[in-house]
Chains A and B, each alone.
Chain A
């Protein structure tokens, strides 16, 4: 790490365009986690409208079953799939799966855990999230 990178502090560490796909996955994992938490709370509120009876339920559906609502739900689907697949990758990595064998650290000190297996895992999570999102859009806009 150069002197210039040190000067950037936390911004330098958090920069998703630096340090490869692992840092992108780091951000996507946290943002999707917070997004899903927010959606979960909103979903509980949304479904609680069933207590308002048929008229109340139908009124609320008119608010959510719109083009914007469907696009929002498609993003939720993508977040859910990415968080699940990447989470399983992280769990496996934590358990020592796919991180390589322990070895003496030699120059250029490439972390053994950040190998092609885990990169494939991250890209797979992104691709599967995109496919699920497309499927969700087809279902929602297909009717």
Chain B
């Protein structure tokens, strides 16, 4: 594989990871820090399929 292709994959996945982490953090900021860690809240995250797919 060409070096340029490897770097494009490297940088593309890096930028995608940054975007996904940003969404993950923004979801946490929609409520209080302690509230976001409650058992019911975390469970609700995983029951919300689009968000669970994104985390996966």
- Listed in ascending order, the chain A residues whose CB lies under 8 Å from chain B are 47, 50, 54, 57-58, 61, 65, 80, 84, 87, 91, 94, 139-140, 142-143
Contact = CB atoms under 8 A, between A and B. Distances in A.
B7 A94 contact: yes
B46 A80 contact: no
- What size tier do the contact residues of chain B reach? 10 to 19
Contacts, number: 24
* Interface majority SS (helix, strand, loop, mixed), chain A: helix
A80 B37 CA distance: 20
13 contacts: A50-B39, A50-B43, A54-B39, A58-B39, A80-B21, A91-B11, A91-B14, A94-B7, A94-B11, A140-B33, A142-B33, A143-B32, A143-B34
* Interface majority SS (helix, strand, loop, mixed), chain B: helix
Contacts of B34: 143
Contacts of B23: none
